[in-house]
Structure 1
């Protein structure tokens, strides 16, 4: 497999981004969340939900001839980071995360913030994020809640 290129997502990518999102949740989160929680997480999602981020130039993909992962930001927050299950552990997530963090820093923010799944906590800790809280996430029509970890990473050093 070639090293992927990180590029801005285009409208024609939304079907593949959606497929990566579903695959990542199903493959990588199954050991940490129930089937009911995963179904609720994916409830109501479809490819069109990524179009606004494409239009805002706030979503990037890892592309090596096929989309292996994607990351989305909004202000100081990494709002989504998902990698295909078979691509996990190959450095794609780390590359996407660093791209997002660099973008957040370039936009003048002093920290990056995210809400991580319990299975992704150690990944983010290895990349300099610290736990700043906890909470729950739900999506779509489902009332099922998923435990999450709120995390932050300082991007600038204070002078002194």
Structure 2
């Protein structure tokens, strides 16, 4: 199992590389190349560090960084798991980690915007569709899960 911890400044290159690899190897099945390029250009090392000043960013480690997620209150952002770690419960563990933090902060639900690629993953975790929107990065599903 992976260890989940808060992002450190030195993690930004590994997290940016993880996100780019996921986008190119997995999300590219659902999105055209121009959107993948736009997404990759968005998640640079600099951008990861900048996001960490505004959100809580976490990484999952198991022989290197194999996953990441961030949150701002009860909003989920930037959820990615390395393809070699897919299906091992790392995404679920990352989500449950930030959900527990949200509960301790007094929130009764979580919300996320999910790509076409991640939509089914969130359904498996008990998230339900609220609406869909078009963004600069393509179709985005807005989902919500009530917290215990």
Q: Is the TM value for this pair above 0.5?
A: yes
> Residue in 1 aligned with 2:144?
152
Structure 1 CA distance, aligned partners of 2:121 and 2:47?
Answer: 26
How far apart are residue 65 of structure 1 and its match? 2.9
Structure 1 CA distance, aligned partners of 2:63 and 2:43?
Answer: 25
Going from structure 1 to structure 2, the CA distance change for 1:45 and 1:126 (only over 3 Å counts) comes to closer
Bigger Cα Rg: 1
Matches for 1:5-44 after TM superposition, within 5 Å: 5-44=3-42
User: Structure 1 residue aligned with 2:114, among 72, 91, 116?
Assistant: 116
2:70 corresponds to 1:72: yes
Aligned-pair Cα RMSD in Å:
1.5
SS of structure 2 residue aligned to 1:43: helix
> Residue in 2 aligned with 1:51?
49
Q: What TM-score comes out, normalization by structure 1 length? A: 0.86
Counterpart contact for 1:118–1:147, Cα < 8 Å: yes
**Structure 2, gaps ≥5 residues long:** none
Q: What whole-Å deviation, never above 9, does each CA across 1:75-97 have from its counterpart, x for those lacking one?
A: 11001111112222221111111
Which segment is superposed worse, 46-55 or 72-81?
46-55
Q: Which runs of 4+ in 1 moved over 6 A?
A: none
State how many pairs are aligned.
148
**Structure 1, gaps ≥5 residues long:** 139-144
Counterpart contact for 1:112–1:155, Cα < 8 Å: yes
Structure 2 CA distance, aligned partners of 1:57 and 1:146?
Answer: 23
Q: What TM-score comes out, normalization by structure 2 length? A: 0.92
